[in-house]
């Protein structure tokens, strides 16, 4: 929302109680269909932007509507969809819907040029996210791997810690300054997503990868697999490795040595995904929808 607010937009946020309030944002905790209708009609927005995969949006809202798809597969609402990557769009069966990357506000992510000597995995501790592959890379590089994120599959985490006892340091879920410092200080962030069964069924295709833009905004380069969106967004802020590639000590050292500088990574992130840039792209799509255009 930062970019839209700075562009002068007024926003109604249908969010959970306790959602942060800021100038230009009206927060409604409406849940029931009638409440959502009433909140939208009272605010009278020019456009409704759904991020819930139609889970929270009544189907008969009488306002121009667009919907950003954040998951795998075909979205519940295909009319006026927006995708995070070409790979995600293709998997959903669309060829012409807009692709708008995930934004990042660089003021929320401290830049640190000097890095500590650890690698970072940030996200859900699950097989499709490639945590084991990240640990194997770190082990080959003879560097510690900090793993931060929810671990709902206890057996997977236990096996990871048993197999890489001297490599993996699991710190659980992190937020706030702890999270941004971990990102900023890491030598590299590992995003080795795997095309296996995902949490919603079907082959996992990395849809947008928030962690890539967050790391890059902090000046932290990314080492990624070639799954889903990653080959589209990582070049320029890191390097892409083929899924299934065996990594030796020499391979790992060459990859680390080839990474772009922290300053170059930060500049690329801001130019590509800065919140002002992404807000302008969304405003252009909003105008299309408000004018009556329909796409799939």
Which ranges in the chain are annotated with CATH 3.40.50.2000? Answer: 2-103+274-290, 106-272
197 strand-pairing partners: 203
State the average pLDDT over residues 39-49.
94
Separation of alpha carbons 278 and 81, rounded Å: 16
The lowest-confidence range among 55-59, 105-109, 114-118 is 55-59
Neighbours of 134 (CB within 10 A): 28
- Superfamily for the 106-272 domain: Glycogen Phosphorylase B; (3.40.50.2000)
Query: What tokens were used for 271?
Result: 């130019």
Q: Mind giving me the DSSP string for 98-146? A: -B-PPPB-GGGS---SS--S-EEEES--SGGGTHHHHHHHHHHHT--EE
Neighbours of 292 (CB within 10 A): 7
Query: What tokens were used for 86?
Result: 């070409």
SS3 182: helix
Separation of alpha carbons 184 and 187, rounded Å: 8
Question: What is the pLDDT, as a whole number, of residue 187?
Answer: 99
**Topology annotation, domain 2-103+274-290:** Rossmann fold (3.40.50)
Separation of alpha carbons 95 and 92, rounded Å: 9
Question: What is the pLDDT, as a whole number, of residue 59?
Answer: 77
Pairwise pLDDT comparison (140 vs 28), residue with the higher score: 140
Q: pLDDT tens, 222-251?
A: 999 999 999 999 999 999 999 999 999 999
Query: What tokens were used for 185?
Result: 């200080």
Separation of alpha carbons 162 and 166, rounded Å: 9
- At 130, the pLDDT band (50, 70, 90 cuts) reads very high
- At 50, the pLDDT band (50, 70, 90 cuts) reads very high
Residue partners of 280: CB distance under 8 A and separation at least 6:
3, 7
Q: pLDDT tens, 146-178?
A: 999 999 999 999 999 999 999 999 999 999 999
pTM (predicted TM-score) = 0.94
End-to-end CA distance of the chain: 24
Q: Where are the beta strands (DSSP E) in 42-95?
A: 48-50, 65-68, 81-82
């Amino acid at each position: 929302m930062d970019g839209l607010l700075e562009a002068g937009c007024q926003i109604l946020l249908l969010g959970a109680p306790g959602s942060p309030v800021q100038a230009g944002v009206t927060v409604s905790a409406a849940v029931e269909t009638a409440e959502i209708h009433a909140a939208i009609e009272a605010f009278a927005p020019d456009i409704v932007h759904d991020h819930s995969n139609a889970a929270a949006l009544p189907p008969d809202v009488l306002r121009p509507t667009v919907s950003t798809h954040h998951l795998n597969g075909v979205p519940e609402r295909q009319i006026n969809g927006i995708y995070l990557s070409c790979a995600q769009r293709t998997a959903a069966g669309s060829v012409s819907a807009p692709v708008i990357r995930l934004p990042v506000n660089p003021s929320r992510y401290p830049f640190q040029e000097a890095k500590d000597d650890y690698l970072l995995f940030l996200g859900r501790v699950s097989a499709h996210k490639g945590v084991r592959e990240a640990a194997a890379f770190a082990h080959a590089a003879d560097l510690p791997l900090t793993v931060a994120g929810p671990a709902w599959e206890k057996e997977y985490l236990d096996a990871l810690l048993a197999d890489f006892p001297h490599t993996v340091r699991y710190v659980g879920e992190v937020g706030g300054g702890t999270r941004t410092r971990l990102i900023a200080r890491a030598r590299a962030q590992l995003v080795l997503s795997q095309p296996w069964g995902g949490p919603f069924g079907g082959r996992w295709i990395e849809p947008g990868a928030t962690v890539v833009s967050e790391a890059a905004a902090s000046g932290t380069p990314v080492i990624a697999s070639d799954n889903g969106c990653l080959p589209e967004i990582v070049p320029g802020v890191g390097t892409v490795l083929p899924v299934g590639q065996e990594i030796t000590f020499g391979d790992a050292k060459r990859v680390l040595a080839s990474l772009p500088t922290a300053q170059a990574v930060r500049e690329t992130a801001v130019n590509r995904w800065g919140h002002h840039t992404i807000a302008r792209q969304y405003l252009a799509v909003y105008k299309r929808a408000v004018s009556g255009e329909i796409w799939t």
